[in-house]
Amino acid sequence: MAEVEEQGRNLSEESTDESEEEDTEEEPKLKYERLTNGVTEILQKDAASCMTVHDKFLALGTHFGKVYLLDIQGNVTQKFEISPVKINQISLDESGDHVGICSEDGKVRIPFIHFSSNCSLTSSISIYDKSLRNWLNRWKTSVLHEGEGNITNVKWRANLIAWANNVGVKIYDISSKQRITNVLRDNTNLRPDMYPCSLCWKDNTTLIIGWGSSVKICVVKERDPTEMRDLPSRYVEIVSAFETEFFISGLAPLADQLVTLYYVKDSSEHMFRTRPRLDIIQSLPEGCEEISSDALTVRNFQENQCRDYRLEHSEGESLFYIISPKDIVVAKERDQDDHIDWLLEKKKYEEALMAAEISFRNIKRHDLVLDNNLDSLGDYDAAARKCQKVLGKNMDLWENEVYRFKTIGQLKAISQYLPRGDLRLRPAIYEMILHEFLKTDYEGFATLIREWPGELYNNMAIVQAVNEHLKKDPTNSMLLTTLAELYTYDQRYDRALEIYLKLRHKDVYQLIHKHNLFSAIKDKIVLLMDFDKEKAVDMLLDNDDKISMDKVVEELKDRPELLHVYLHKLFKRDHHKGQKYHERQISLYAEYDRPNLLPFLRESMHCPLEKALEICQQRHFVEETVFLLSRMGNCRRALQMIMEELADVDKAIEFAKEQDDRELWDDLISYSIDKPPFITGLLNNIGTHVDPILLIHRIKEGMEIPNLRDSLVKILQDYNLQILLREGCKKILVADSLSLLQRMHRTQKRGVRVDEENICESCHTPILPSGTPLLLLMHPFVYINTYENFIYSRFIKV
């Protein structure tokens, strides 16, 4: 390749649109070079039609029927005049010693010994096998398939042969001598001669099919012996199938990705043919992801069609040959030198320097040396970051660099880039950096303790150092928090808990739960409650099997406000669990939480009523006293308190309704008879419980009662409503009675089946003596029985 470097650079420059170059900073995945030397001279007079790649050489077929053997630089080593027509395919064996050539006239030439190929314009495929000999020990032909038009592509791998015709792709298993699948062509609207099928074996069982804009990845699998019966021993599963934007001219594998050569045709009226594209894609079960895409400026691309392009690859190394009639381009993966070139081109000099330092043994064109003087860089953080990439897994170099940073007083800069995974430095290195931070930067020290795994350094040595600093500053919260974290890692949870409680740290409850420290907090319940009452109570109640209720009450006895919070939540969870503390809770509610006292008295079944009444009366809690009096049976006294102390007629009426006691209503009326506002309230609410006439008759003549007219109207409305309700209920009752009566009548009229075994309940004789004829006439009111004796008025002797 005499012109490779210069032409390759030009081709690479033309491989993408200018707009794409401006918009993207992504580095290309492949680099391109033209195959020159002898190839240039050949293609000036002839046109390439196909090519086969071997580790040792290349075999190029042309439109004029010639085959050239080339070295990898494109120099001609041999030439064969094969046919006057175009060469369609060349096939080589693994050793490269034998070649088979297929031409446009449908003939196969084997200049040396063996043929294993891909041929066109034939109507069947034949294969030779040692077992296929006739009785004269001569080779015989075995027809594998015919009758579906021209065979346009054949690929043989191990014991599997894949071929494509106008209908689809077939795969034949040589070992079982069976055709195991038929993959139909998707793009049936495209002419198969203009958009031929591309086949490529990724390995011995994976076939990649590209046809038109469709790609399918097929895997040959062994069939379960229990399912075989008359089926082939192998079957094909399509593991991925997707459509592409352009037409496929060739396919090749690249690790777990695909390299695809696309033919791009403009959709305009002029059908302008654009540059072919070479893409790297990642196949997915139902689609694909584009990894990279390059547009190639091959010679005379404006005149080429989809069938004029081929893509061949070398399995030994990642080399891809793009064959067109007047040009052959070689694509290969970019190496480290190419990567450095790209970085320099983008003016990323620092990254280029680091790349050269990392791969200094592999680069060939760049002679860059690591600058050992860190001071010259000025930016110590950038220098430390560079160490992470340059030094890699060499622990000795890492330790040397750490000491160099220490010498210039910049240990902090390198701290965040030190190895901390499977590969680690000696513990002394990490301890040295921690001590440096402890002297100058408590916050940075705390950050490193949180970020670094505890096994990187001697934990006890760091704990001792922190304690020494705390002697000078015992209230430093950051150092105390860090010390608690060190204790936690060292599994000295009691010490960590003590510090967290002292600091009222938010992680104290998490620490208790995570490490089951309930035995350590039995004497610290007050501290926990002072820190966060709600969380502390929830934790104590959730873990009452580990810290008993009696223990909590004992610890909180000198802090009644905290004891109330605990017992209140306990009562809300279970009304009976803390029943022995209900008497104490009465005073606690009265002192700290009166709004919840009445609900507690209502819901508690274990509260001593006398004690509760005494406390409520002492504190003049009227509502609570009223409830307790009514619960103790002294409803008249309770009503009196409502009327006298609360002066609330609505509450008095509500209380009378709840008790539903006629005497209470009389007391209420008697108390209200000289109070016009009370009389109004009674007139508005008494109608549904007591006859309002009793109240009206007792009203003194001449008394002015507010809203009397409205109250009387309401009484009449309530009375009418009651009458309507009673009438409605009466109608419903009568209708239900009539319905039930009719149902009973229909049931009694229903006939009953009897036989000779049935006995009359009256005379205790058989109802139907054997041999007695019976005639039953169905009539709404008459039953006739032809029996010798007249038994009942409904039976007539015949």
| Phi-psi label, residue 8: left if phi above 0, alpha if psi -120 to 50, beta otherwise | alpha
- Does position 548 have pLDDT exceeding 60, yes or no? yes
Least confident of 239-253, 528-542, 661-675, 713-727: 661-675
How does pLDDT run across 754-788, given as a tens digit for each residue? 777 778 777 878 777 666 555 544 444 444 443 44
Alpha carbons 138 and 525: distance in angstroms, whole number: 100
User: Percentage of the chain with pLDDT > 90?
Assistant: 18
Indicate if the pLDDT at residue 491 is higher than 90.
no
In order of 106, 220, 520, 666, the CA distances from 261 in angstroms are: 27, 25, 71, 105
- Tell me the per-residue pLDDT of 636-658, one tens digit each, with 9 for 90 and over: 888 778 777 777 777 777 777 77
Predicted pLDDT of residue 495: 85
Question: In whole angstroms, what is the distance from residue 340 CA to residue 349 CA?
Answer: 9
At residue 51, the pLDDT reads 92
pLDDT class of 635 with cuts at 50, 70, 90 = confident
Contact 437, 448 (CB under 8 A): yes
Please report which confidence band the pLDDT of residue 361 belongs to, taking 50, 70 and 90 as the band edges.
low
Q: What is the pLDDT of residue 794?
A: 38
In this prediction, what percent of the chain has a pLDDT beyond 70?
79
Q: State the pLDDT at residue 23.
A: 44
The CA distances from residue 159 to 174, 518, 582, in Å, are: 5, 70, 88
- Looking at residue 384, what is its pLDDT? 76
Residue 15, both tokens: 């491989």
Confidence band, pLDDT 50/70/90 cuts, at residue 356: low
* Least confident span in 355-369, 443-457, 525-539: 355-369
The answer to whether residue 260 scores a pLDDT higher than 90 is: yes
| Average pLDDT of the chain, as a whole number | 79
**For the purposes of burial, counting CB atoms within 10 Å of the CB of 95, is it exposed (0-12), middle (13-18) or buried (19 or more)?**
exposed
pLDDT digits (tens, 9 = 90+) for 161-212: 999 988 899 999 988 888 988 999 888 888 888 899 999 999 999 999 999 8
| Whole-number pLDDT of residue 17 | 44
| pLDDT higher at 709 or 284 | 284
pLDDT of residue 686: 64
Question: Residue 118: which pLDDT band, with cuts at 50, 70 and 90?
Answer: very low
Give mean pLDDT, residues 497-504: 83
- pLDDT of res. 276: 92
Separation between Cα atoms, residue 339 and residue 7, nearest integer Å: 19
Give the span between the Cα atoms of 246 and 52, in whole angstroms: 25
pTM beyond cutoff 0.85: no
**Which distant-in-sequence residues (6+ apart) come within 8 Å of 539 by Cβ?**
509, 512, 513, 528
The pLDDT tens digits of the residues spanning 206-256 come to 999 999 889 999 999 988 887 767 788 889 999 988 888 889 999 999 988
Higher pLDDT, 251 or 26: 251
pLDDT score of 662 more than 50: yes
pLDDT of residue 769: 67
Of 668, 706, 674, which is closest to residue 689 (Cα–Cα)? 668
What does the pLDDT average to over 13-37?
A: 66
Highest mean predicted confidence (pLDDT) among 271-275, 620-624, 742-746: 742-746
pLDDT tens across 701-711, in order? 666 677 666 76
Q: What DSSP designation does 265 have?
A: B
User: What pLDDT score was predicted for residue 13?
Assistant: 46
pLDDT of residue 732: 94
* β 99-103/66-70 pair status: unpaired
Better-predicted residue by pLDDT, 559 or 21: 559
**What DSSP letter does each residue of 551-569 carry, written as one string?**
HHHHHHTT-HHHHHHHHHH
Mean pLDDT is lowest, of 310-319, 506-515, 760-769, for 760-769
Tell me the sheet residues that pair with 221.
235
Any bridge partners for residue 227, and if so which? none
Q: Are strands 48-53 and 58-62 parallel, antiparallel or unpaired?
A: antiparallel
Q: What residue spans define the domains of the chain?
A: 426-667, 759-798
Closest CA to 658 of 623, 625, 694, 689: 689
**Residue 607 is encoded by which pair of tokens?**
């509260």
Whether 555 and 522 have beta carbons less than 8 Å apart is answered as yes
Q: Is the pLDDT of residue 128 over 80?
A: no
Mean pLDDT for the stretch of residues 657-681: 72
| Predicted pLDDT at 440 | 87
How confident is the model at residue 790, as a pLDDT?
36
More confident residue, 359 or 417: 417
Query: What are the pLDDT digits (tens) for 198-211?
Result: 999 999 999 999 99
Range 59-72 average pLDDT = 91
